Chain A
Amino acid sequence: MILEKTHTALAVLFPETTIDDSQIGAVEEVPAKEEEKGAKKTPEPRKNGVILRDYAVHGYHVDIQLAPSQLREAVAIVDSLDYFIESITGVDWIKEEQMEVIYDFSRYDFDLCRVVIRTRVPRDQPSLPSITSIYAGANWHERETHDFFGIKFEDHPHLVPLLLPEDADFHPLLKDFKA
């Protein structure tokens, strides 16, 4: 099954964490409990690693968080396993002074497995390696993410505004953006 295959292939990136399937259910529970209590206390920042998610709840299977330096390696693994790129997007976590970039991958065959790769960059210096040399289709997605969040993709061939006007110097999806 591709799910196990992907999981094992990506777990190579995190040698210090052991794969233990019994933990998976436990990880799932955490956000729900916090919500019941009113979610006032700040949740523990998530550690880098691979988590298998419940597809019926979240709509994807494999959820990976990694350091920006591991990004290209992880995407190359996903590419070698015949995934197609679905989208790239950002999230502005202003309270944690971080920005998250999310990469979505899915498959063309009937062995359904959705992979989500997340990485976080500091908010004041958002910069990530570009994956356009692996997936040519990442080009527009990265330009769009640069438009909306100001995240710089190093070695991107043509990082100019795509959806915003060509002289745009604002990033509308930042939480402190005021029109």
Chain B
Amino acid sequence: MSEPVRIQADETFVLNVGPQHPATHGVLRVKMEMDGEYIVNAETVIGYIHRMHEKMAELKTYPQYYMNLSRMDYLGALGYCHGHVLLVEKASKIEVPERAEYIRAITVELNRIASHLFWFGAFVMDLGGFSPLMYALQDREYILDILERITGSRLTYSYYRFGGIYNDVDEQFVESTRKFIPRMRKSLKKYHRLVTGNIIFRKRLEGNALLSRETCRKYGASSAVARGSGINYDVRKNEPYSVYPEFDFDIPVYSEGDSMARYKVRMEEMEQSLRIIEQGLDKLPDGPIMPKKPPKIIKPPVGDYYQAVETARGNFGIRLISDGTKNPYRLKLRSPTYSNMHLFDESCRGLLIMDALAFMGSLDLVIPEIDR
């Protein structure tokens, strides 16, 4: 597996993967130049579900645009909403009550687990194991139920408001979340017994698609893609925002740089998210969930503002250039999988097509989030 593959460039053909292909988890197309089973060259074609979110931002006011964020990444929507509200609050200097910020952190982490669970199921299914998906979706269902009760939706949440949140959590939320934590811990053990130690699984992933630190840096990779390559980078720790400095949690880092490392990072992240939720529920302060006088019209002063958050898929950055009116002059969304996907072209050269698809799965792609 570690020996370089010898390729005769004159005997190649082009294989078109996608745009509709189960392994791409969405409308993504990869033109692969193949030499037998080996990839000589690949060109990723994106943009099939491009919706021009950034133009919509310029045409709408801040509260009107807010719900677009949850349509970007349908699996980890709350992380993106969090970035947007933090940015607008920073720009227009809105104070957020502490309780609201704690609830935000708890719900973002719940959403992160839900997103990772879906990824886990889909990833193992890419590799040919069907049943883990069923278990993963069952656990995810608990989270969706918990979040549905307080946010009102199951997938495209619009739970936060500029200045706070829309609906306070109640005893039942705290209780059901507390019940969920041990259940999830038990499930994680089950997943490790079922999947992580599996010899077929390990043989396929260990040493698969090695990414160096330098590749990650040149492409701006984040999330488990960077952390699987020995980069200790998590926006929650490197650039603390919200109430994350209050929590005691670790960032799992593996230096192997293969798909197995990326898998392990995400699995451990779920455990870390559980720790954050646990501490968040313990520390959850009483108080209001919205400021006393929430601003009726959002008009950030003239300027250029940037906010980065760690979503389930990595470092999501959002830049606002305000001209002091009700609409943003320019709003740029820097999506994490856009950068993570970009390094696929270069890194899949010389791989077997099956290994390349395993690699693609380990990147945790959500296509609407790439295409925006």
Contact = CB atoms under 8 A, between A and B. Distances in A.
A106 B317 CA distance: 11
B321 A91 contact: yes
B218 A104 contact: no
Interface in A154-179: 161-165, 172-173
Interface string B330-364: 10101000110011001000000000000000000
B308 to A, nearest CB: 7
Given A108-B231, A164-B50, A59 B218 contact: no
A106 B309 CA distance: 13
Interface string B220-236: 11000010000111000
Given A84-B220, A136-B219, A164-B47, A35 B324 contact: yes
Contact of B304 (A58, A135, A165): A58
Contacts of B302: 31, 34-35, 39
A139 interface: yes
B238 A86 contact: no
B135 interface: no
A86 to B, nearest CB: 5
B306 A58 contact: yes
A59 B305 contact: yes
Contacts of B308: 59, 106
Nearest to A87: B334
B119 to A, nearest CB: 22
B263 to A, nearest CB: 21
A85 B220 contact: yes
A165 B315 CA distance: 27
Contacts of A153: none
B80 to A, nearest CB: 15
Given A137-B218, A164-B50, A114 B306 contact: yes
Interface of A: 31-32, 34-35, 39, 57-60, 63, 82-87, 89, 91-92, 102, 104, 106-110, 112, 114, 116, 135-137, 139-140, 148, 161-165, 172-173
Given A60-B306, A91-B329, 5 more contacts: A57-B90, A59-B87, A87-B334, A107-B238, A163-B372
6 contacts: A59-B308, A87-B334, A104-B319, A110-B238, A136-B219, A162-B47
